[in-house]
């Protein structure tokens, strides 16, 4: 069994079942899931107005959250609007705040959780 060390915190990445226990950054470094959450948080915090990022829209019980793949980033969505889309069939628009910034996300169809997020000026 190959042991992977996180390039940020230097801890051993713990495998769970069939998942490798680590994520790969845009620069190719291997990081543990906790550090992946920190990277995703920093990316949201530093996103300029009009900047875009992709995460996941997940539903737990009756609440919606923006999450990263391992679930180490979790932000509650404060408003969701469901509508129609000419190709995907459905469209979900979501709005949330994080680190004092406002964001709008769009998720298309019922067969994906991918949410395209844009930082916006203000909601009101």
- Per-residue pLDDT tens for 86-100? 776 789 999 999 999
Residue 13 lies in a domain: no
Beta-bridge partner residues of 65: 58, 76
Residue 100 lies in a domain: yes
Half-sphere exposure of 83 (CA within 13 A, CB side): 8
What is residue 104's predicted lDDT score, i.e. its pLDDT? Answer: 97
Residue 7 lies in a domain: no
- Per-residue pLDDT at 1 exceeds 60: no
Residue 31 lies in a domain: no
Residue 5 lies in a domain: no
The answer to pTM > 0.75 is yes
Q: Which of 15-24, 35-44, 51-60 has the lowest mean pLDDT?
A: 15-24
Query: Residue 84 — very low, low, confident or very high, per pLDDT cuts 50/70/90?
Result: confident
Residue 93, both tokens = 């628009």
For residues 86 and 5, what is the distance between their CA atoms, to the nearest angstrom?
46
What is residue 26's predicted lDDT score, i.e. its pLDDT? Answer: 86
What is residue 67's predicted lDDT score, i.e. its pLDDT? Answer: 96
> What number is the average pLDDT over the span 62-82?
93
> What is the residue range of 104's domain?
48-120
Q: How many domains would you assign to the chain?
A: 1
């Amino acid at each position: 069994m190959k042991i992977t060390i996180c390039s940020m915190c230097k801890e051993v990445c713990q495998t769970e079942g069939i998942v490798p226990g680590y994520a790969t950054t845009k620069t190719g470094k291997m990081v543990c899931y906790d550090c992946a959450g920190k990277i995703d948080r920093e990316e949201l915090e530093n996103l300029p107005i009009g900047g875009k990022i992709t995460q996941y829209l997940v539903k737990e019980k009756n609440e919606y959250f923006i999450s990263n793949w391992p679930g180490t980033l979790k932000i509650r969505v404060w408003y969701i609007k469901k509508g129609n889309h000419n190709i995907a069939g459905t469209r979900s628009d979501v709005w949330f705040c994080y680190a004092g910034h406002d964001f709008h996300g769009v998720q298309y169809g019922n067969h994906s959780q991918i949410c395209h997020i844009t930082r916006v000026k203000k909601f009101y």
